[in-house]
Each structure stands twice: as C-alpha cells, then as structure tokens.
Amino acid sequence: MNVKLYNQPLDLISADLTLEFVTSEQLEFHPYKELLSQAGFKAEQEQLCALHEHRLLVCGIDKEKSDELYRSAMATAIKAAMSYAYTSLKCSQYTLERFRVLIEGVVLGSYKFESYKSEPKPSKLTEVIFSHENNDGSSNDFDALETVLNQTLIIAKATNYVRNLVNQTPDDMTPQQMAVTADALATSNNLECTILDVNGLEYEKMFAMLSVGRGSAHPPRLIHLAYKPENPKKVITLVGKGLTYDSGGLSLKAATSMVTMKMDKAGGCAVMGMIKAISELELDIEVHAFVGAVENMISGNAYKPDDVLRAKNGKTIEVRNTDAEGRLVLADVLGYAQENVKADYLFDYATLTGACMVALGPYTTGVMGHNEDLKHSFIQAGASAGEYCGMLPFNRHLKKLIKSDLADVCNVSSKPYGGAITAALFLDNFIDEDVKDKWVHFDIAGSAYTESAWDVHTYGGTGAGVRMTLNWLMEHCR
C-alpha cells in the first residue's frame, strides 16, 4: 500500500473515498446523522458504515480514543476499503502523536500473503493519502509528520518482511535458503554477513545445534548479520531461533501440532527484520543479529532422548525430549554470539514453549530475565508499539526442575509446570555471568503466528517483536 502525506486540507485532496473516525458523541452532530442512523450505525468501536453516494467510509471509535483503538480501527477500515472498487482513500490527522498508529493500521492491516495462490486477488485500493490537518481543522507541523511517516513506514515494512519470511513453507525456506535470504539482505542494506555451514559449526564446537539438525536432509546454518555505523552509542546483540520446521524429532509431535510449524523460525526472521529496519533508520547503534537456522526431523541419524550433548560453552545437556530443540539451538548460538561480540545488551527471540501460551494467552509475548528494570522498560515499549507483553518471574525452585543427575542440565523440566520459565532458566545456563543483567529472553510462541485475524494481524506470521524492539532501541539507545 502506497502511503502519502499532503500539505493540504482534506477537502482539497483528490481521492475516491474519504475515511472518517467518529465517536458516539460526535455522531450526534454528524452532517449525515440521519443516514448513518438509518443504516444502524452507532459508532461502536470498529463499526463501519459506507455512504457510497457521498464517497465516505465512517468508522466508529470508542470515546477512550487510545492509540491501540485507532490502530485497530484503521486496519479494519482499510480491509473494508480494499474490498471496494476504489483506488485511493484520504484521511485527516487525529493529532501528530496518533499519526504513527494510523500508518501502522494501513500498512499492517492491508497485508496479504498470496504467494501460494494460483490466482491471487490484488486489491484495487493502492493509495492512502493523509492530510497534514487534524479532523477538527487544526494543523500539524508538516516536517514532523513527514519524519513520523518515514520512520513508521520503515518499521511497518520490516514487520511485513518478517511476516513474508515466516509464511514461507518449510520446503521453500530451508536453513540454506534462510542463509541465502540473509545474504541478499546484507547486500541490499550494506550489512556484513557471515554464514557458518556444518564444517564451521563443527569447528566452533556447536554440537547441540548440530545434533538438532542431524536428522534433516537440509543441514543447519548459523547466520551473523552486522550493522556497524561509525562511533556507535551502544552495541546490541539480537539472537533468533530459526527452526525452519519442527517435527518434534523422535519425540514426534501429534499430527495437528505439526501444522503451522513453519512458524518456528519466527524468532530468527524477527531479528532479520529488526536489523533491516535499524540499517534503514540509520540508528547510531552497532547491531549484531544471529540466527540458528535448523530443521528438526526424524531419520536413522536423528538425535535421541537419552543423548548427552556438549554445547559451545562446554556445558553438557541431557536430552529427555527432542521436541525441546529450540533451546538447544539457542544454547549454542548464544554462546557463539557472546564469544564474538561484547555487547551492551543481549536479547533473544524464540517461539520456545506452548507453556507461554498457557500462561499468557495466544496474543502476548513472555518477557524473562534477571534485570527487573530492563524487563519493565520492554513492557512499556511493547505497550507503546502495540504489542502485548507479560513478565514471567524466575525463581530458584523452578531451576531445580531442570537438574540432571547425568549431565550439567536437562533440556526439559521434571514436572509439567512453569514450562516457559524453566525453558528460559535452561538458557540462563548459557549466559555469561557478566551478561546476565544485560540479557532478556522473549518467548513469542503465542504472539508470532495467528490462525485468525486480530488487531492489525491477518492469518499467518505477525512479525512479533519487531515494533517493540525498535521502539525500545529508539528510546533507550539515543
């Protein structure tokens, strides 16, 4: 969708359709009150009424008028407008501060993934134009609006980039193809790119990651993308779980649970989207994105329950369930990342546990780590960016549940409780002591993929983590 900003009042802008947001209170004074009432329009949140004879689309907005409600309402209105035959739509501002969420509503709400459709159905709506004026006739600074537009488009398009990667099938997005995609991103965005193949992983003694990929016909890859501006204010490391497909291995998933497992690479895709946006925003921070791209399959060579694996940092892991594979991959990638980059902050993103969805529901990212202030800052950044986040607390008693009598640590808990926390506590074994207060783990198992539309999200990948993290970086690394 092409989003434009005009330095003109709305009535001087030429477009096929006008979009207007109306509260129940404003409805009482609306010039088309009678027509809207006859159509049963009550200005309830996201309720739509199209007055085609006036080329007007009216969308209800709750009188609370929060950013979240405007973002969601814009997405709903755009989806409706895309079903009409109009080619362009115009809209007023609803304050400078709200411009960002309206743009997100347009770009994220209009997203469609039709790469596998034999007959895709593109919308005729291709252009959304914003006036610099607010709906009450007051004006905003055009340069400030333009800055918001440019920044928001970069972030929203990076989110859609992640959605596209997540939505690609396991046959198309193998570990090797993920590495090819990263290399293409590095070329287009002037990033450094290092790829480790099986030989490189063996040289680096990343045997946990190698073991997970052993049963697949598609060998694993470790991806390292780097953005290095001159004199950066901070150094940030981002680590993503990139399971291009997860069958569960020999601890085979149920058939219904295997569907959608292409989404298990969402953490890796997210950090690629983040560094894409960071380079385009030209942020004054050095950023390293590491992705462990692996496929977890079954074969005569697959790793097994009862195996003991040695990770990059030398610690040994007792395998009791091969479906708890993402944490094994992250153990090695986290070790490699810390060895190669001395960062001010280390953040990892992974569709790690179904237990996180049990705890927080399917829309919310679990936030875990040792630094309370750092975790709280991400809760705030997520709320501002339109991503739901919830903290899950560590405690020493849960840590006992991953104790192994055979190795240094077990890859699953001995009891079926607190699974998201025990998975994060497992990762804690592979975080260096001097990094523990700089590290945050994000479990995006529930938030990274959806099979039913909600808010700005359509079926498939959501790009979870991208807007939240970029919001945090732009706020805390200036």
Catalytic residue among 214, 221, 312, 327: 327
Question: Catalytic site residue 400?
Answer: no
Asked if 253 is an active-site residue, the reply is: yes
Q: Which residues contact 304 (CB under 8 A, 6 or more apart)?
A: 250, 319, 322
Angle (CA) 158-161-167 rounded to 5° is 145
Q: How far apart are CA 430 and CA 442, in angstroms?
A: 15
Helix, strand, or coil (residue 218) = coil
Asked whether 355 and 419 are in contact (CB, 8 A), the reply is: yes
Q: How far apart are CA 72 and CA 108, in angstroms?
A: 10
Query: Which burial class, exposed, middle or buried, applies to 77 when counting CB atoms under 10 A from its CB (0-12, 13-18, 19+)?
Result: buried
Q: What span, in angstroms and rounded, lies between the C-alpha atoms of 269 and 463?
A: 8
Using CA atoms, how far apart are residues 361 and 163, in angstroms rounded to an integer?
A: 20
H helical segments located in 82-212? 96-109, 142-167, 175-189, 198-203, 207-212
88-93 vs 127-134, strand pairing mode? parallel
- Rounded to whole angstroms, the Cα distance separating 402 from 341 reads 28
Altogether, the residues listed in the chain come to a count of: 478
CA distances, 424 to each of 346, 369, 376, 411 (Å): 14, 8, 17, 11
Question: CB under 8 Å to 352, separation ≥6 — which residues?
Answer: 241, 326, 327, 330, 420, 423, 424, 443, 444, 445
Per-residue CA distances from 463 to 151, 247, 448, 457 (Å):
17, 22, 6, 9
- Cβ proximity of 289 and 195 under 8 Å: no
Q: Out of 33, 65, 205, 253, which one is annotated catalytic?
A: 253
Question: What would the two tokens of residue 118 be?
Answer: 């034999």
Tokens found for residue 264: 């298990």
Which residues are part of the catalytic machinery? 253, 327
